[in-house]
């Protein structure tokens, strides 16, 4: 059964969440009722399923969840498959006009590929999840391109050659139109709701997608004012998010870069190719870095040490069974930046890392950089859940340490 709403599926490697947030903003400011399904969450699964920007309250989950479990094979669904079906049921109940579905790690067998899509968006495809999708970029790209399953238009950001070829081949096979999307001009940078030069590409992809979705939704595709508002108000926590100093932590720049491609985007935002007043950013006085052991953390850590060889780094242990060994990470860091990294273990590791970083942030404009894993940010957000919502959101509440 086809859902009674328009569906846009967002795939790729880095930038899926940002592109989804921009596209949701564009749909909202053009008067659409919008369902947004993203992953992962930081603190609560409610963050993954939103209608018009607000999480669907957890107290409404049991009824649709039980209906899924009582159906044939309901108890055999994976966690992500279950949440995807749950999101679709909730979007139907909420009578959304459009649902934006962020794919998980792949495309061919991804749960979001099980439903028809009216449009597909591909952010840049890069190396990630190689153990599952394949050892080369071509393998990964072919898996993600396999989500092209009909004639729905396919908007794509600029891609590496192997990924571009995989998408083109899949589009030809299915008779789908492949629509390249260009990044927005640089003058958009200070106006975007999400910071960083790489967001010009994500916003450009979202705008290209909106222009193809608008006719399906009975909306104007060329309303410049609504477009500007949608791109300006987009919000996604943990993506170059600036957090002011508060009790318990210094001023922070939070970014969930968890692979070399994401780390490159982070560093490019801190060291833009052409410095301008609107893009100049204070350099971090300290770094808090941690990661999962099955990610390419050595490359990411080395990239940071090359840019910040004299900046103290604190490596807190993550409360996750897949966490990287903080001592091994610190040892790798100290090979490239001798004596600058310190491993922190124990249940209060993050709190001690924040306190240590605060010691290097004396001036009002000083900040620390926290990056390396979305799980690291999740532990921080669990302490300060207000920061998960945009400052202009009516659902935001006071800090709760």
In this predicted structure, the answer to whether residue 277 has a pLDDT above a threshold of 50 is no
Top pLDDT among 356 and 390 is at 356
Q: What is the mean pLDDT of residues 218-223?
A: 94
Q: Is 190 helix (H, G, I), strand (E, B) or coil?
A: helix
**Reported confidence tier of residue 212, pLDDT bands at 50, 70, 90:** very high
What pLDDT does residue 145 have?
Answer: 96
C-alpha distances out from residue 363 to 4, 27, 307, Å = 54, 41, 22
Poorest-pLDDT segment among 71-75, 174-178, 278-282, 310-314: 278-282
**Reported confidence tier of residue 47, pLDDT bands at 50, 70, 90:** very high
Q: What is the mean pLDDT of residues 104-126?
A: 94
What pLDDT does residue 169 have?
Answer: 97
What pLDDT does residue 399 have?
Answer: 40
b/e code 159-180 from CB counts within 10 Å (16+ = b): bbebbbebbeebbeeeebebbe
In this predicted structure, the answer to whether residue 157 has a pLDDT above a threshold of 80 is yes
What pLDDT does residue 48 have?
Answer: 97
**Reported confidence tier of residue 164, pLDDT bands at 50, 70, 90:** very high
Top pLDDT among 399 and 94 is at 94
Quote the CA–CA distance of 175 and 195 in Å, as a whole number.
36
Top pLDDT among 149 and 1 is at 149
* Single pTM value for the model: 0.87
What pLDDT does residue 1 have?
Answer: 72
Poorest-pLDDT segment among 70-74, 106-110, 339-343: 70-74
Query: Which distant-in-sequence residues (6+ apart) come within 8 Å of 188 by Cβ?
Result: 200, 203, 231
Q: In the chain, what is the greatest distance between 2 CA atoms, to the nearest angstrom?
A: 60
In this predicted structure, the answer to whether residue 159 has a pLDDT above a threshold of 50 is yes
Convert the pLDDT of each residue in 374-389 to its tens digit.
999 999 999 999 999 8
* Total number of residues shown for the chain: 401
In this predicted structure, the answer to whether residue 401 has a pLDDT above a threshold of 50 is no
In this predicted structure, the answer to whether residue 396 has a pLDDT above a threshold of 50 is no
Name the token pair of 273: 């190719």
What pLDDT does residue 282 have?
Answer: 79
Q: What is the mean pLDDT of residues 77-89?
A: 96
Poorest-pLDDT segment among 71-75, 234-238, 287-291, 356-360: 71-75
Convert the pLDDT of each residue in 49-67 to its tens digit.
999 999 999 999 999 999 9
Query: Which distant-in-sequence residues (6+ apart) come within 8 Å of 314 by Cβ?
Result: 286, 287, 288, 289, 341, 342, 344, 352, 353, 356, 357
C-alpha distances out from residue 62 to 40, 56, 59, 68, 202, Å = 20, 12, 7, 10, 35
Domains belonging to the chain, first-starting first, are 6-232 (3.40.1190.10), 241-388 (3.90.190.20)
What pLDDT does residue 132 have?
Answer: 63
Handedness of CA 387, 250, 261, 292 (dihedral sign): negative
Q: Is 209 helix (H, G, I), strand (E, B) or coil?
A: helix
In this predicted structure, the answer to whether residue 117 has a pLDDT above a threshold of 80 is yes
Q: What is the mean pLDDT of residues 143-149?
A: 95
Share of the chain above pLDDT 70, in %: 93
Convert the pLDDT of each residue in 262-275 to its tens digit.
899 899 888 876 55
In this predicted structure, the answer to whether residue 394 has a pLDDT above a threshold of 50 is no
What pLDDT does residue 2 have?
Answer: 85
Torsion of the alpha carbons at 225, 255, 159 and 18, rounded to the nearest 10: -30
**Reported confidence tier of residue 393, pLDDT bands at 50, 70, 90:** low
Is cis: bond before 305, omega within 30 of 0? no
């Amino acid at each position: 059964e086809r859902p009674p709403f328009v569906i846009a599926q967002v795939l790729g490697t880095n930038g899926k969440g940002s592109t989804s947030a921009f596209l949701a903003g564009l749909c909202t400011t053009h008067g659409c009722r919008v369902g947004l399904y993203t992953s992962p969450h930081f603190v609560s699964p409610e963050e993954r399923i939103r209608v018009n920007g607000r999480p669907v309250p957890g107290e409404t989950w049991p009824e649709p969840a039980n209906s899924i479990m009582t159906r044939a094979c309901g108890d055999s669904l994976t966690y992500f498959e279950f949440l995807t079906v749950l999101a679709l049921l909730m979007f139907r109940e909420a009578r959304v006009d459009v649902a934006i579905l962020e794919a998980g790690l792949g495309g061919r067998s991804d749960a979001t590929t099980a439903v028809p899509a009216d449009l597909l968006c591909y952010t840049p495809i890069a190396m990630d999840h190689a153990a599952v999708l394949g050892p080369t970029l071509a393998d990964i790209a072919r898996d993600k391109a396999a989500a092209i399953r009909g004639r729905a238009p396919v908007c794509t950001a600029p891609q590496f050659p192997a990924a571009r070829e995989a998408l083109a081949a899949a589009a030809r096979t299915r008779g789908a139109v492949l629509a390249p999307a260009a990044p927005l001009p640089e003058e958009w940078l200070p106006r975007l709701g999400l910071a960083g030069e790489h967001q010009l590409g994500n916003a450009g992809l979202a705008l290209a997608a909106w222009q193809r979705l608008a006719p399906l939704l009975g909306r104007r595709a060329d309303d410049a004012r609504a477009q500007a508002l949608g791109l300006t108000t987009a919000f996604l926590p943990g993506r170059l998010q600036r957090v002011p100093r508060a009790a318990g932590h210094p001023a922070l720049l939070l970014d969930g870069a968890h692979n070399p491609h994401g780390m490159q985007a982070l560093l490019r935002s801190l060291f833009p190719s052409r410095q301008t007043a609107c893009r100049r950013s204070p350099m971090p006085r300290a770094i808090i870095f941690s990661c999962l052991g099955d990610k390419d953390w050595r490359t990411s850590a080395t990239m940071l040490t090359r840019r910040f060889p004299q900046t103290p780094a604190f490596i807190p242990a993550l409360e996750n069974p897949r966490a990287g060994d903080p001592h091994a990470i610190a040892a790798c860091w100290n090979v490239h930046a001798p004596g600058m990294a310190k491993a922190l273990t124990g249940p209060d590791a993050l709190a001690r890392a924040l306190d240590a970083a605060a010691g290097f942030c004396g001036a009002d404009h000083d900040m620390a950089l926290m990056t390396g894993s979305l799980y690291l940010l999740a532990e921080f957000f669990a302490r300060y859940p207000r920061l998960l919502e945009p400052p202009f959101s009516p659902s935001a509440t006071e800090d709760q340490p």
